[in-house]
Amino acid sequence: MALHEVLLQQLFNGLLIGSFYGLVAIGYSMVYGIIKLLNFAHGDIYMIGAFSGLIFLTIAAPVIGAGWPSLILGLLISMTLVGLLGVVIQRVAYRPMLKAPRLSILITALAVSMILYNTVMIISAGRYRVFPAEVGTESFFIGTLRLTETRIILIVAAFSLMFILHMFITRTMYGKAMRAIALDRDTCQLMGIDVYKIIAITFFVGSALAAAAGIMAGVYYGTIHFFMGFLIGLKAFTAAVIGGIGIIPGAMLGGLLLGLLEAFGTQIPFIGTVWKDVFSFAFLILFLIFKPNGLLGRSESERM
């Protein structure tokens, strides 16, 4: 393979990883935008999504198989259930803390994260689990680019979800209310917007997208683990900051950019795979220093 062919392959690898990061980053960014909370439990929601997909497939496989139709059904059911879980967590853990100092709610989020992954650790006996999807792993070529059916479907699905979300945010009243609350919660309340309901919807949508990413990661990598949400949580946070935290198109863009940075970063001599995470977090630091509002962020005074 010539260098440009390697880079083309890495471009595709980066887009796929980046779309997972993007889907998780959206939830981070939405929640931050609306209640200024860095939801550290969000990575664990992604993990719960993967496990709920596994449970669905295990139950459904004998009846309707474990191919794409059953995966799509599983995806929808898991997104709904995990979305509701997000709403419950929001109601039980975060809503009573909304008027408390910001640090308290941050610590609550850490506690929620620990409760979630430790529960799954106990249930799954701490072991890696095989994700039982039966999808094509046969590869084919477009030019020199090696692709599989699975990869193409996953990337299309990820982009479709992002597009649907974008429409939801920009074209519906709920989306408009979310954007309004992000600007000024108190005024929204005075204008008669049911703020708590909108916050609940935000958690539902964010959690559902993370669950979708979790299931997609299960299909793509083939194994899942109770701690799989930790690193992706940090990466999604990085992606959200790169794109401008609180700005939803920014989270998508940040996720894709981070995926590409990682994929190409490993091609730089002496960096290699082991430095991948160092590379992405170094970018986080650079962004925090030189462009703290992210790619799409406006200056702080305007946003407030």
Partner 1 sequence: MFKSKKYLILLLVTAMMIFGAVGCGDDTATEDGEGDILIGIMVPTTGSEAADGIDMENAAKLAVEEINAAGGVLGGRMLVTTTGDDGCDPSMATAAASQLVSEEVVALVGGYCSGATLPTLAIYGDAGIPFVVAASNATSLIDENPGWAFMINSTGLDQAASAVEKFISLGVETIGVIDSGDAYSADLKEQTIIQWEAAGYEIVADDTVQRGEVDFSAFVTTIMANTPDAIYWTGYQAEGALLIRQLREGGYEGVIMVGDGSSAQELIDLAGDAAEGVLCTGPPLTDFLPAAQSFIENYEASFPREPGAYAALMYDATKLLADAIERAGSDDSAAIKEALDATDGFEGLAGPIMFTEQNTLARSNFVILEARDGRWALVE
The span from the CA of 83 to the CA of 189, in Å, is 24
Decide if residue 44 touches partner 1 (CB under 8 A). no
Instruction: Report CA 205 to chain centroid distance, whole Å.
Output: 11
Of the candidate residues 126, 171, 183, 194, the single one contacting partner 1 (CB under 8 A): 126
- In sequence order, which ranges of 124-227 are alpha helices (DSSP H)? 149-171, 173-183, 185-190, 195-221
* Part of the chain binding partner 1 (CB under 8 A), chosen from 95-103, 190-198, 214-222, 240-248: 214-222
Is residue 125 close enough to count as binding partner 1 by CB under 8 A?
yes
- Considering only residues 244 through 273, tell me which ones interact with partner 1, judged by CB under 8 A: 262-263, 266-267, 272-273
CA distance 185 to 132: 44
* Residue 281 is a binding residue for partner 1 (CB under 8 A): no
Give the position of tokens 């000024």: 184
Site for partner 1 (CB under 8 A): which residue of 76, 88, 127, 196?
A: 127
Strands 129-130 and 223-224: antiparallel
Among 89, 203, 211, 225, binds partner 1 (CB under 8 A): 225
Among 58, 139, 160, 172, binds partner 1 (CB under 8 A): 139
| Contact call for residue 63 and partner 1 (CB under 8 A) | no
Q: Does 67 bind partner 1 (CB under 8 A)?
A: no
Distance of CA 242 to the CA centre of its chain: 14
Q: Which residues are CB-contacts of 110 (< 8 A; sequence separation ≥ 6)?
A: 40, 41
Strand-pair category, 139-142 with 145-148: antiparallel
Residues of the shown chain interacting with partner 1 in the complex, contacts defined by CB under 8 A:
1, 5-6, 9-10, 13, 16-17, 121, 125-128, 130, 137, 139, 146, 148, 217, 221-223, 225, 227-228, 231, 262-263, 266-267, 272-274, 276-277
